Amino acid sequence: MPAGLRGAADLSSLGRPAPAAPAQSAFGVPGEQAPAAPAQVPAGTEVVQVASLVLTATDATVSVVAELSAKVPVALLIWSPRSPESDAMRVRLGTLVEAFGGRLVLATVDGDANPQLVGAFQAQAVPTVAGLIGGRPVPMFEGDQPDAQIQAVFAQLIELAGQNGVTGIAQATDAAVEPQPEPLTKQQQAAYDAIEAGDFPAAIVAYSEALELNPRDELSRAGLSQVRLLERLSHGTLDEIRRAAAEGPTDVTAQLAVADLDLSGGHIEDAFARLLELFPAASAEDRGRLRERLVEYFDVVGAEDPRVRTARRALSDLLF
């Protein structure tokens, strides 16, 4: 760990006076819109090539992010896959950072898998957002915040970075270059073969084995959610499922089944809304079932889909 990342530091520790604006913490800046991204890079500005404006940082790779922050300010998010709220913020922050046109970069940290970084930034909860300028931490905020307020905090981070000589522009490498897909693991190939044979239970077993070997295998996680959906849809007819749902509007089992039909038929928002509406009055056990099914749906549809972001935020509100 670089020495400059051991513990949080106040803004004043960067050794430059604060802007002439009223002295408020980054958390208390009024919600103002971030300035539009420049159409052209100003003459003399250093252009820093990065793989993406949204990077993943770990205990082992944080030194690379710290070195990058000597040229471009970095917003660092500590999140947890166990927290829907922090996962939703991970997606939102990526969009907000990209709107600044390369004047800052986002680094995301899975707090569950990287305890050293959690300790270094003294994170007490997820999501926690901090800044990095020249390898030194800048405390910002924790918890969910409105987009406008986050934009204002990012604008302040960019301004502070400029005062400290960090004025580079990050530029993502050519997105048109198609990355080579990674070869399938033995378990993934077994799952594919089982799906082609129509043996959904065998595919579920194969994907589950893949996740036991690598819990961060997103391909297998999404595949498992998809094949579970296919397996459930193989039981019962459409008319039977629809009739049971109509006769039992508060029957969680019946509503889960008809939500599967909604999702498979492309009625994604209907499927989300159906389960979210059941949540407040459901028992603790049924809430767990509804949450698990919604998380599966998020995997099936894809985290970047705006409908998933909206539903994930609604689920977070109901949970917390």
pLDDT, tens only, 108-148 = 999 988 888 888 888 888 999 999 998 889 889 988 888 98
The confidence band for 44, taking pLDDT boundaries of 50, 70 and 90, is: low
Give the residue, 243 or 19, on which the prediction is more confident. 243
The confidence band for 173, taking pLDDT boundaries of 50, 70 and 90, is: confident
Q: What ranges in 121-237 are assigned the alpha helix state H? A: 147-163, 186-196, 200-213, 218-233
Residue 320 scores a pLDDT above 70 = yes
- Say which residues have a Cβ less than 8 Å from residue 158's Cβ, sequence separation at least 6: 73, 100, 103, 104
Average pLDDT, the chain: 82
The mean pLDDT of 218-230, rounded to a whole number, is: 89
Answer positive or negative: Cα dihedral of 116, 122, 124, 125.
negative
Q: Do the beta carbons of residue 133 and residue 105 sit within 8 Å?
A: no
pLDDT at 105: 96
Q: Is the model's pTM score more than 0.75?
A: no
> pLDDT > 70: what percent of the chain?
83
Give the residue, 52 or 302, on which the prediction is more confident. 52
pLDDT digits (tens, 9 = 90+) for 1-38: 222 222 333 333 332 333 333 333 333 333 334 444 44
* Domains and their CATH numbers in the chain: 3-172 (3.40.30.10), 186-319 (no CATH)
pLDDT at 31: 37
Least confident of 43-47, 71-75, 152-156: 43-47
Q: How far apart are alpha carbons 266 and 263 in whole angstroms? A: 5
Residue 288 scores a pLDDT above 80 = yes
CA distances to 85, 156, 311 from 149, rounded to whole Å, are 17, 11, 22
CA distances to 120, 172, 193, 204 from 199, rounded to whole Å, are 48, 42, 9, 9
